[in-house]
Amino acid sequence: MKAILEFDLNDPDDIMAHMRCVKSLDMAVALWEITNEIRKSVEREIDADEKMVTSHYDLHEKIFDKISEVLEERGLKIDELIN
């Protein structure tokens, strides 16, 4: 079996669809890291320094910073994939 994806790279909608296909592995790996690794990482950091997070706001900021790092490491720019 074969599957051929065709995109008109002059069409803005097709350009976005093409980027989604090109970045699909990066997105899958990033989602895996977010769901499996970030929680563990933040828990370890908090356990190592309980003074590090003093409020729920600080914890949310830490988690979203980690998510942003994962997306950046994978070269994922959400604005290019969702509009």
Domain range spanning residue 64? 12-47+56-81
Decide if 74 is inside a domain: yes
- Looking at residue 8, its pLDDT comes to 97
In a domain, 29, yes or no: yes
**28-56 in b/e burial notation, b at 16+ Cβ within 10 A?**
eebeebeeeebeebbeeeeeeeeeebeee
Question: Residue 51: which pLDDT band, with cuts at 50, 70 and 90?
Answer: low
Whether residue 69 lies inside any domain: the answer is yes
Does residue 19 lie in a domain region? yes
The percentage of the chain sitting over the pLDDT mark of 90, rounded to a whole number, equals 33
Would residue 6 count as lying in a domain?
A: no
The count of domains in the chain is 1
Please report whether residue 3 resides in a domain.
Answer: no
What's the pTM value of the predicted model, to 2 decimals? 0.64
